[in-house]
Amino acid sequence: MTFMLMFKETDDTWCIMRRPSRFTHGSRQSRSVQLCRVTTLVVGLLVCGIYARFLWPSSTEREDADHDIRTEMTESNVSAEKIQTPQQKLWLTIGIPTVPRRNDIDYLMTTVEALLQELPSTLDAPLYAKVRVIVMNNKKGKHVVFERAKTRYQNAGTDVLLSRAIAASHIEFVDNPGDFVDPFKGKIEEPDDLNNPSSRPGSAVRQQTCDLITLMEEALRRPSDYYMFMEDDFRTCGKALEATKYAIGLATEMSPSWLAMRVSYGMNGIVMRSRDLPPFSDFLREHLARLPPDLLWTGYLDGRTYDKPEEDTRVNRGPLMVFKHNLFDHIGTVSSFEVRPDRPKWPGCYESMANVWSLQEHERFDPRCDEFDVSPCIGLTTDSKAALIYKGGHSFQPP
């Protein structure tokens, strides 16, 4: 209102004091003054509108400003537990079983930190809320490093940036409920770990198999398209999730019925469709006292049934596909087991999967398939053309 009075006063004064032209007489002069007043009033209203817009922004502008302020505040001070991850269909679940090591050596924190760098860190990321990481503590109440990691990432304090909080929201830290324990403990003789040609598992290894089964069951409570086995002493290489997605796409073009995909070694970096987990879990349970889990895995791939060689209980009998690059770096030098023989060097990030000493030949990458980035590409009913087209449209370059 003050503005309106000011412009009205200015309007009258300016227009009356304005010297009339010598060609303006009578009513024409009056009309000129009136026109001047109207023009000045319109200009005044426009100025008032601009000023009001400055003082009172629109609801959309206020929302945008509030969002910017919240973002700025959140970037410097946010808790991971406040990020609400929507319950949508998962693309990948990563299962990480963990147990304490001697002197509480901390591999887990390094493992989780490296994986955190690869998880979606913005709300508009393509894989946001589509990846779930389960870190399962298999020694409840006895795993100091697990509790430290849980506090650091799941119950994060005010030092966590928004991007890290979003990434950490994909990780769940859970304790093994202890429902499945080694049924043979104390009932059969323990093997000599340094002289065990048949690789018969002792109680600790059998319990490791039990824990893998429990972790798979936990993952299936909220099924995803794919499940990846991971160990707690492997550092995730840069762009590993991107590379895994690329490898899965290639494998599906080449052999849609593939049973599993290898992107690393050991019981780490093995990808299966979630629907194929129950038959594998049953296989592990049936042969619990026969071999360690990684060797049982190899037997399952081969369709072995041991006592019943004529039966292959696998629902999916497709091939194992192998990515040509190793996507995880083994950092553990102190084993979770008391006795472990010396071993050759493990391949590092993006080194070839063609020469991994611990893998059988059909679990290694076939160099003849270098053009396709995954193997096997020979001796199968594969659509090589489709694979190359896919590769051309989804090319992946290691960092």
Residue 299 in any domain: the answer is yes
187 and 45 in a common domain? no
3-state secondary structure at position 292:
coil
| Res 379: pLDDT | 64
| Res 181: pLDDT | 93
50 and 196 in a common domain? no
Looking from the CA of 139 toward its CB, the CA atoms found within 13 Å total 14
Residue 72 in any domain: the answer is no
Residue 105: DSSP 8-state: -
Residue 77 in any domain: the answer is no
Contact residues for 248 (Cβ-Cβ < 8 A; gap 6+): 226, 261, 271
194 and 330 in a common domain? yes
311 and 239 in a common domain? yes
d(CA 232, CA 95): 10
348 and 204 in a common domain? yes
Helix H or strand E encompassing 27 = helix 27-55
Pairing of strands 270-273, 171-175: unpaired
Residue 292 in any domain: the answer is yes
Residue 88 in any domain: the answer is no
Q: pTM, whole model, 2 decimals? A: 0.76
51 and 138 in a common domain? no
43 and 159 in a common domain? no
> What number of other Cβ atoms are within 10 A of residue 10's Cβ?
14
Residue 398 in any domain: the answer is no
3-state secondary structure at position 304:
coil
Give me the CATH number covering residue 219.
3.90.550.10
128 and 42 in a common domain? no
> Which range of residues forms the domain containing residue 213?
93-393
What are the pLDDT tens digits along the chain (399 aa)?
444 444 444 444 444 334 444 434 444 445 554 555 655 555 555 544 544 444 444 544 444 434 443 343 344 444 444 455 566 789 999 999 999 988 889 999 999 999 999 999 999 999 999 999 999 999 988 899 999 999 988 765 444 578 888 999 999 999 999 999 999 999 999 998 788 888 999 999 999 999 999 999 999 999 899 999 999 999 999 999 999 999 999 999 888 899 999 999 999 999 999 999 999 999 999 999 999 999 999 999 988 777 766 566 556 678 999 999 999 999 976 544 454 556 688 999 999 999 999 999 999 999 999 988 999 987 655 566 677 777 777 878 888
Over its C-alpha atoms, the chain yields an Rg (Å, rounded) of 33
Residue 379 in any domain: the answer is yes
Minimal CA–CA distance to 138: which of 81, 205, 235, 220? Answer: 205
Residue 133 in any domain: the answer is yes
d(CA 373, CA 381): 17
190 and 42 in a common domain? no
Pairing of strands 90-98, 328-330: unpaired
Burial of 245 (0-12, 13-18, 19+ CB in 10 A): middle
101 and 44 in a common domain? no
Strand partners, 141: none
282 and 178 in a common domain? yes
234 and 183 in a common domain? yes
The tally of domains found in the chain comes to 2
